[in-house]
Amino acid sequence: MYLITVFGNLLIILAVSLDSHLHTPMYFFLSNLSFVDICFTSTTIPKMLWNIQTQSQVIIYEGCITQMYFYILFAELDDILLTVMAYDRYVAICHPPHYMVIMNLRLCGLLVLISWVLIALYSLLHSLMVLRLSCPEMQIPHFFCELSQVVQLASSDTFLNNIVMYFAAVLMGVGPFAGILYSYSKIVSCICKITSAQGKYKAFSTCVSHLFVVSLFYFTALGVYLSSAATHTSHSSTIASVMYTVVTPLLNPFNYSLRNKDIKGALKRFYFMPSLKDQIP
């Protein structure tokens, strides 16, 4: 599953990079999402596979903090990029004549850069908050160093850490999700105003892949974690983590390649390019 995730997302990045037809804001954000998905799974799965192979579940303290930092970084970047992609679809459908003017190269690059800087600082804050804690025994009932699990092991006062975690969960969870809902409320309103059925279908088809990814990400990350919090079992928490750290990045390449004619066309052109070059005298 890990190899399929990595190679699938690499194919999307390759297709977007090499095909000039895909040099648009929509596919620029998609290639960034694919890169983040590769990094997201790579923060946890290789270590887990190594633990399974060696029958050892040991991780050094510095490695645990490092893993936690990058896990938070790429998980939140996934969230922010999905919100930016929703705004991109809103501009494309609701303001098509001005799309390339509004979503220019400078704005797209700036949105991605700001996302990286803000989330890097956000992740650093959580890591520094954990470093101030005293953890005499580090036996985490999980397959990676998950923030809440590490905080629960602390013997010192964790009140401030819990306040920061809950506030951040609302800010970085509810905030972007509200932005996505607002964008799609405007999109639905614009689609309803289109008179032709073909026009409605064309407008909606550009959002299907993104809607699928958003639903998968939020329903696994939020819905399953809420149920695990209610049962208070590490098994439920582990299942929840596997769902959105392994399954969601695995399905994204299939979703965007199988549902998207442009990506399929780019991959076909890339596949047949060597054979065409061999035929040219």
pLDDT tens track for 166-191:
888 788 878 898 999 999 999 999 98
> Has residue 273 got a pLDDT over 60?
no
Average pLDDT over residues 104-108: 93
What does the pLDDT look like over 134-152, one tens digit per residue?
766 667 777 888 887 788 7
The better pLDDT of the pair 143, 267 is held by 143
Give the closest residue to 110 by CA, choosing from 33, 28, 16: 28
Convert the chain into a string of H (helix), E (strand) and C (coil).
Answer: CHHHHHHHHHHHHHHHHHCHHHCCHHHHHHHHHHHHHHHHHHCCHHHHHHHHHHCCCCCCHHHHHHHHHHHHHHHHHHHHHHHHHHHHHHHHHHCHHHHHHHCCHHHHHHHHHHHHHHHHHHHHHHHHHHHCCCCCCCCCCCCCCCHHHHHHCCCCCCHHHHHHHHHHHHHHHHHHHHHHHHHHHHHHHHHHHCCCHHHHHHHHHHHHHHHHHHHHHHHHHHHHHHHHHHHCCHHHHHHHHHHHHHHHHHHHHHHHHHCCHHHHHHHHHHHHHHHHHHHCC
Give the closest residue to 64 by CA, choosing from 116, 127, 123, 124: 127
> Has residue 227 got a pLDDT over 70?
no
Q: Given this model, what pLDDT does residue 149 score?
A: 77
> Has residue 251 got a pLDDT over 50?
yes
> Has residue 118 got a pLDDT over 90?
yes
The mean pLDDT of the chain is: 83
> Has residue 218 got a pLDDT over 70?
yes
Q: Given this model, what pLDDT does residue 205 score?
A: 80
Q: Given this model, what pLDDT does residue 280 score?
A: 46
Q: Given this model, what pLDDT does residue 281 score?
A: 47
Q: Given this model, what pLDDT does residue 131 score?
A: 85
Average pLDDT over residues 91-112: 92
Q: Given this model, what pLDDT does residue 186 score?
A: 92
- Chain centroid to CA 177: 13
Which residue ranges make up each domain of the chain?
2-279
What does the pLDDT look like over 183-213, one tens digit per residue?
999 999 998 888 888 878 877 887 888 888 8
What does the pLDDT look like over 23-32, one tens digit per residue?
889 999 999 9
Q: Given this model, what pLDDT does residue 119 score?
A: 94
Max Cα-Cα span within the chain: 75
Give the contacts of 44 (CB within 8 A, at least 6 positions apart): 67, 71, 143, 144, 241, 245
Q: Given this model, what pLDDT does residue 37 score?
A: 93
- Domain 2-279, classified CATH 1.20.1070.10, yes or no: yes
Q: How confident is the model at residue 276 (pLDDT cuts 50, 70, 90)?
A: very low
Q: Given this model, what pLDDT does residue 234 score?
A: 62
